[in-house]
Amino acid sequence: MSMISRLPIFLLMMGAVSASMAIPAIFALVIEDHSDARAFFYSGIVGGTLTTLAAVALANREHNQSPLRQLLALLAAFVFLPVLMAVPFWEAVRTTTFLSAYFEMVSSFTTTGVTLFDNARLSGPEHLWRAQVGWMGGLVMWVAAAAIMAPLALGGFEITARGEPGQPVVGGAGMNEKSDPGLRVWRSVIALAPVYTGLTGALCIMLLVAGDPPLTAVSLAMSVMATSGIAPDGAVLGSASGLAGEMILFCFLFFALSRVTFSSDTSVIRETRLLHDPEFRLGVLIVLVVPVALFMRHWWASFDVGQEENLAQGLRAFWGALFTALSYLSTTGFVSADWQTAQNWSGLSTPGLILMGLALLGGGVATTAGGVKLMRVYALGLNANREVERLIHPSSVGRSRIVSRRTRREGAFIAWVFFMLFALSLAAFAVGLGAFNVPFEPALVLTIAALTNTGPLVEMASATTIDLIALAPGAKLALCGGMILGRLELLAIIVMLSPEVWRD
């Protein structure tokens, strides 16, 4: 274990990606798709050979000695690993450019899930590879949160951490002065990979029992755990499992609302029960409030079309809104089969702005969800509540609960700074896409989808169909940059560029 932990993190991920190409290769061989089997098998052999040679050459050097180097390795993984992942995909599809294949792999690895290809254009092994790449990207974020982001007080941890963003935090989340960064990554992999794999396997088995075909069940299971929204049949659910399958997926979507649902390795709060977690409680509140508001709006609209007495259709509409709200809050982007029922029942169009708003809020810190994160929203809410109290009672003393004081003051300030940086990033990327002749509304939808890592927004939030394959190469590269930035967050990029950090 110590020998493996000394190797560069990027090299370890490169080896894991190369080895994982055997799975779609075997699947393609089973269904007698020999062209896809050769593409994935040969790419895996070449990638594994390059990884082995590099590991031998770098075995005697010291690596992973600082959290900053690990953060840089994480950035390099999201930028350069999709090149390796795109090779077999490009060879298997055969009718696309390498840039489009790279875009597809960046989208999958960052758990965004936006695609350039029609579902019918891709074969089963190619669909499996997209879902598998997204699943690996979700596992990388689980591990990186505990081993890289938490020590540097980034990725949402800056709200409750004792130190400032980018400065190693000692004494929190199981870290101390003698903690080896490389071993910390390895321990996180050992602790979290079985949980992540076990949950995915359990979900897959449930979907198989509910009636989904094997490829659909595996893809949906991996996509829900990674919140990538990748499925062979598209983002709108309507598979053989029906309502039972949606209910199963609904339960597993809660893992994206808070890390406490599956681990307490990064918690700085003594009370780790789920019902006391502010992110989970806020997420559940939003998931309940939004469907109720949509349902009431649908109910009032139904009087105009004379269908207010149809209770069964109303319940189906409520379920469609409930499932879709949780899916978009977790930045997964799956849409219930009853979402269309809700629209037909009320006679109203798709509330795309609401879906974009849910995706912007995002899920929990240190989960696979994107967005600005619920913890930052919670910190700003605490700060706003305290300011209102001070307006009413200027001499009042704020309540000192668990992490409340830190969250109301420094945490809220950092959260506000992050919101401003996010807004500036959104404006910059929207203007950048406009420079490539993308109209304003599609540019805005594409930017929000990229920065929140919610690819299905492109299809569901826009009033007109966006032809992604026709985008200019520069626009595709800009969206790749947006997806990577949304995954790592601008605050982490600023820390990498800080001269004070490099001098340490």
Domain count, the chain: 2
Average pLDDT, the chain: 85
Handedness of CA 164, 165, 166, 172 (dihedral sign): positive
Tell me, yes or no, whether 297 lies in a domain. no
Tell me, yes or no, whether 318 lies in a domain. no
Domain end among 246, 261, 276: 261
Domain end among 203, 236, 261: 261
pLDDT at residue 47 above 90?
Answer: yes
Q: What dihedral do alpha carbons 81, 86, 89, 92 form, nearest 10°? A: -130
Q: Choose between 155 and 100: higher pLDDT.
A: 100
Confidence of residue 120 (pLDDT cuts 50, 70, 90): confident
What pTM did the predictor assign?
Answer: 0.91
Q: Choose between 350 and 189: higher pLDDT.
A: 189
Tell me, yes or no, whether 225 lies in a domain. yes
Domain end among 261, 279, 310: 261
Rounded CA-CA distance 85/184 in Å is: 26
Tell me, yes or no, whether 126 lies in a domain. yes
pLDDT in tens, 159-212: 877 666 766 655 444 444 446 777 888 889 999 999 999 999 999 999 999 999
3-state secondary structure (DSSP) of residue 236 = strand
- With CA atoms as reference, report the closest residue to 215 among 323, 123, 103, 93: 123
Tell me, yes or no, whether 469 lies in a domain. yes
Tell me, yes or no, whether 302 lies in a domain. no
Q: Choose between 273 and 200: higher pLDDT.
A: 200
Average pLDDT over residues 451-471: 89
Q: What is the pLDDT of residue 357?
A: 92
Report the percentage of the chain scoring pLDDT > 70.
Answer: 85
Q: What dihedral do alpha carbons 218, 220, 226, 228 form, nearest 10°? A: 130
Q: What is the pLDDT of residue 404?
A: 62
Classify each residue of 347-367 as buried b or exposed e, where b means 16 or more C-beta atoms within 10 Å of its C-beta: eeebbeebbbbbbbbbbbbbb
Tokens read off for 427: 């404006």
Q: Choose between 342 and 424: higher pLDDT.
A: 424
Range of the structural domain that residue 453 is part of = 406-503
The structure tokens 């950090």 sit at: 501
Q: What is the pLDDT of residue 303?
A: 55
